[in-house]
Structure 1
Amino acid sequence: MMTAPRRKTPPLLAISMGDPAGVGPEVILKAGSALAKRRGAPSIAVVGDLSAMRATAARLRDVPAPCEWHPDEPPIRLTKGLGVLSISNLSARAIRPAHPTVEGGGAAYDYIVTGARMAISGEVDALVTAPISKDWMNRAGHHFPGHSELLAEMSRTRLWRMMFAGGELTIALVTAHIGFAKVASALKQRNVLDTIRLLSTHLRGALGVAQPRIAVLGLNPHAGESGMFGDEEIRVIAPAIRRANREGIDAYGPLAPDTAFIRKAGAFSFDAAVAMYHDQGLIALKTLEFDRAVNITIGLPFVRTSPDHGTAFDIAGKGIANPSSMIAAIEYAWRAAIGREKIARRAAA
């Protein structure tokens, strides 16, 4: 199936379909409809199940018609239809909205793996992943906490982080899916510094921010109040910031978490922030940008984005899923792919 890497203009993005019983197929089709109206929009190839995409399209109005596509063929323009690399032939039961199955969970895993291989080989410029059910993927025998861990293993990436971006706020996490009681012991100078480095590199390379200004949050109330409420700021976070500064990274803090996201003159004073744990950063981000936030795995050798919501089995098949986050995920992957291409061209010159 794989072909030699080729230059693609505009970028070609692979979208893994996600769980067939969730809202993935719906938000992909709705996003395709919105993007078809834009000049220079990226080409899209859905890695999934053609029957599932067609069944979903039949329930919606004014969406691109799903049609079969293969990697050795030119990309299909969204004005002509939505190309689907169909790698499964799911049963009617597995594509029934709102009723997840082991069959569907296993297929969702296969879609991710195929899309990632295409991104690693250079067949596509980025991978956008529609929502999966971690529970049903695990029931199907694929034991990964989520997309990022699977993609890191496939690409042999040791160092990566979860990042979330919206129109106003961008956050990278030092720790992610661990219990709060374990956060303090998990914080080390090295992983705080690595997060700052990865975030700076991503902002420079993918988004073209020449000198990113990065705010770094503390862990404790009032950023520890000089050690009164905890010393992680003194022992771990501040030394990591100083090391980043010596490397030429414009990072500052540790900031008191309860005031770090106060806007001045209607805007934040930084390009992105580093949060010590999941909810510390994501409560602020999701309050501001719930419908348009994007999940990005930074540190991978390819661009990977995802809408910042789940499978929404409770509304799947009703035609009411909001595609805003999927549109934002595609747009972010599109910009990042172009940014990486510019960096590659400059390096080769």
Structure 2
Amino acid sequence: MALRFALTPGEPAGIGPDLCLLLARAAQPHALIAIASRDLLAARAVELGLAIDLIAVDPTAWPDRPAPAGALYVWDTPLGAPVVTGQLDTANAAYVLETLTRAGQGCLDGIFAGMITAPVHKGVINDGGVAFSGHTEFLAELTDTPQVVMLLATAGLRVALVTTHLPLREVADAIDRQMLLDVTRILHGDLQRYFGVARPRILVCGLNPHAGEGGHLGREELEIIEPALDSLRAEGLDLVGPLPADTLFTPKHLQHCDAVLAMYHDQGLPVLKHKGFGAAVNVTLGMPIIRTSVDHGTALDLAGSGHIDTGSLKVALDTAYSMAAHRRSVT
């Protein structure tokens, strides 16, 4: 049976609207509903030379079948100001957040089986007067989730993060025993729930070079990370580490694991993106809803050009569909 999924195009001046329209050239297996300004999508379609039928949806009568190839369902959401392709405008910051709120609340209400997000521009939202550090944190607040986990995945590699969008000098102070326990349990449980991994094997990075070198290059491994991992192993979790991050990401280790847990953003994600940029997906774990996203930014200079790759959005869609199927099979 076809499910409904929400698609948010993100920053209206960036490539998100382009991605949605390009994707609509092919039929989807489920009812995919873009939460966006219909006028914006229509104007961008003209700019791209695409003939896409933008089918308005009525929130009192949701579609229960996929749109045909060359068509896209749209839940019209008004802009704050007209969009100039490639040019940021703080007047549309509230519009971007409204699309995310509609999608997230729709998932909570059971209207959508999951949501897929195109890239937002954090800077222009903050400049518009709203403190915003990213999709992950915004959706955690919307869903009243105390702890979420960012996971990026590509073929052959999944990397989850203990801390996300923090300045580097704040990372060590942010990592404590309870955070490690919570994040690792979420990663373990959601690998089972959404990815069909019966007994996840997780490799854990150390925080410091050489995983602290026995305390000579930092004591976080000895005092925080190792005791937390020992407690989790006593619960039955299959964990390896803490391992030095500079040697963990090698075939010898990765071929026998289901995910890597990195301590901070730029410890794990450069490796993931080197391996699969443009064919990777960002997944938010720990929430009561499914959310996936592309692995790239707004690319303002490419908006309206037609010279963009839809690969990451395709992976994000396929991942959301697969996660929903796994969730239904275990509930």
Q: Conserved in 1, the CA contact under 8 Å of 2:44 and 2:304?
A: yes
1:73 is aligned to 62
Map 1:298-317 → 2, pairs under 5 A: 298-317=285-304
Q: Distance in 2 between matches of 1:78 and 1:248?
A: 47
Residue correspondences, number: 329
Q: Distance in 2 between matches of 1:103 and 1:184?
A: 37
**Change in 2 beyond 3 A, CA 1:87/1:203:** same
Name structure 1 gaps, 5 residues minimum.
1-8, 345-349
2:4 is aligned to 12
Q: CA deviation at 1:21?
A: 0.6
Aligned letter for 1:271? D
Name structure 2 gaps, 5 residues minimum.
none
**Local SS of the residue matching 1:284:** helix
Map 1:1-349 → 2, pairs under 5 A: 9-34=1-26, 36=27, 41-60=29-48, 64-71=52-59, 72-75=61-64, 76-79=66-69, 81-89=71-79, 91=81, 94-264=82-252, 268-344=255-331
Q: Distance in 2 between matches of 1:64 and 1:330?
A: 19
With the length of structure 1 as denominator, give the TM-score of the two structures. Answer: 0.89
Q: Distance in 2 between matches of 1:131 and 1:80?
A: 23
**Local SS of the residue matching 2:125:** helix
Q: Conserved in 2, the CA contact under 8 Å of 1:57 and 1:65?
A: no
**Change in 2 beyond 3 A, CA 1:54/1:186:** same
**Change in 2 beyond 3 A, CA 1:179/1:90:** closer
Q: Distance in 2 between matches of 1:161 and 1:69?
A: 32
Q: Distance in 2 between matches of 1:102 and 1:229?
A: 44
Output one character per residue of 1:272-303: Cα deviation in whole Å (capped at 9) or x when no partner. 01001110001111111111121111111100
Q: CA deviation at 1:121?
A: 0.4
Q: Distance in 2 between matches of 1:19 and 1:215?
A: 35
With the length of structure 2 as denominator, give the TM-score of the two structures. Answer: 0.94
Q: Distance in 1 between matches of 2:41 and 2:235?
A: 48
Aligned letter for 1:88? P
Aligned letter for 2:72? L
Structure with greater helix share of residues:
2
Task: Give the superposed CA RMSD.
Answer: 1.8
Q: Conserved in 1, the CA contact under 8 Å of 2:31 and 2:63?
A: no
Moved more, 322-331 or 50-59: 50-59
Aligned letter for 2:230? R
The alignment-based identity, stated in percent, is 35
Q: CA deviation at 1:74?
A: 1.8
